[in-house]
A and B are shown apart, each in its own frame.
Chain A
Amino acid sequence: MSGSGVPTWEDVAREHGRFLYTVAYRLTGNSDDAQDLVQEVLLKVRRGLETYRPGSMEGWLSRITTNTFLDEARRRRRRPLDLLPEEPDRVLPPQPGADIALAAEALPDDVQDALRQLPEEYRAAVVLCDVIGLSYQEIGESLDVPVGTVRSRIHRGRAVLRKVLE
């Protein structure tokens, strides 16, 4: 750690590499893209460390990782923002009285495959919320969208996951 209290990018890489890789893998869904994403993030970290203010390092890294991921996803897409098909108020058909057993097991690979099926903006919102644990406010700041949008993306994303993992 450098004397001034600001970490060097090597400190960041060593201490947070595993966390960064996990987030990158959950976002991209495969090892090669995850490695590329982490390397890109670390490049940004090197440049950004001068402006870094001590606070939540993981939050800062999560934000850079997600935005880098989304920038790349948008760049690859030829059409604009990918939305889940509009549905009226309900996302699932009503089943009065039906119980869903919460003890249902899902293998990590299956959950990862299901995540991969979400459009990137929805996937990012779910990952920031349920993998990293950020608040809606923090997610809104990270993605630069209003909290209402965060809420809707998380909800829709989860509903699709549930359906896919039936």
Chain B
Amino acid sequence: MSSFDAGAHLGDALSALLDDELPVAQAAQARAHVAECPTCAHELAAVTQARAWVRALPPVEPPFGFYARMLDDRLPVTAAVGPRFDLRRRAAVAALGAAAAAVTVLGIGSPAARPVSPTVPRLVEAHATSASVGADLLSKLAPMGVPVSFGR
């Protein structure tokens, strides 16, 4: 029995179709509908794009020292004091500064307010890979087999 009225649009069934969460028969009907309905085709394309973007998000590296603090629960995990930074305003300034950032200078800079935590393991990996080019692989590269951590 058809669940879909010929005139009605699929709505959230489109996401279910995209995620393979529709039973086989319903999925077939949904696909048939999408083939004939530009509105639903457009909506399916939109949620497909949104899903692709979220799925493409990379893993996030925690701030330097996070693991050590996690395992040593005597230390506070965060030391956030003062007002939380308003991200919209920060984005606006970043856009303004983008043109000025075309030339980057090592060692000079206007005082930047944003706290930043160097993602040290990533930097170590970047260094070790670049330094291994044209050099003895074992010396330069083997240490990368050990995850960088600064523990207790």
Segment touching A, from B35-43, B103-111, B125-133, B138-146: B35-43
**Is B39 a contact of A26 with CB atoms below 8 Å?**
no
> Residue B80 at the A interface, CB < 8 A?
yes
Give 1 or 0 for each of A131-165: 1 = CB within 8 Å of chain B CB.
Answer: 10001100000000001000110111111011001
Contacts of A94 in B (CB 8 A): 38-39, 42
A residues less than 8 Å from B84 (CB atoms): 30, 32
Inter-chain CA distance A155–B52, complex, in Å, is 13
Q: Does A68 contact B (CB under 8 A)?
A: no
Contact B43 A151 (CB under 8 A): no
Point out which of A32, A36, A95, A158 has the most chain B C-beta atoms below 10 A from its C-beta: A158
* Dominant secondary structure at the B interface: helix
What DSSP secondary structure best describes chain A's contact surface? helix
- A10 at interface (Cβ–Cβ under 8 A)? yes
Option from B13, B46, B58, B62 in Cβ contact (under 8 Å) with A35: B62
Do A96 and B39 touch (CB < 8 A)?
Answer: yes
Interface pair A115/B54, CB less than 8 Å apart: yes
Answer yes or no: A1 CB below 8 A from chain B CBs: no
Q: Are B71 and A106 in contact (CB under 8 A)?
A: no
Residue B57 lies at the interface, judged by CB distance under 8 Å to chain A:
yes
Distance, CA A102 to CA B52, complexed state (A): 9
Return chain A residues, CB-CB under 8 Å to B28.
Answer: none
- Total number of residue pairs linking A and B with CB closer than 8 Å: 148
Give the contacts of A39-75 with B (CB-CB under 8 A): 39, 42
- Classify chain A: how many residues form its interface, as a range: 35 or more
Q: Can you give 30 contacting A-B residue pairs, CB < 8 Å? A: A13-B70, A14-B67, A14-B71, A17-B70, A18-B61, A21-B60, A26-B57, A32-B84, A39-B73, A39-B77, A90-B9, A91-B11, A92-B42, A96-B38, A96-B42, A99-B45, A100-B45, A102-B48, A104-B49, A111-B53, A113-B91, A127-B54, A130-B54, A147-B21, A151-B21, A154-B19, A156-B12, A157-B50, A158-B47, A162-B50
Further 7 A-B residue pairs, CB within 8 A, beyond A22-B60, A99-B45, A116-B87: A21-B61, A91-B11, A98-B42, A100-B45, A102-B45, A102-B49, A158-B51
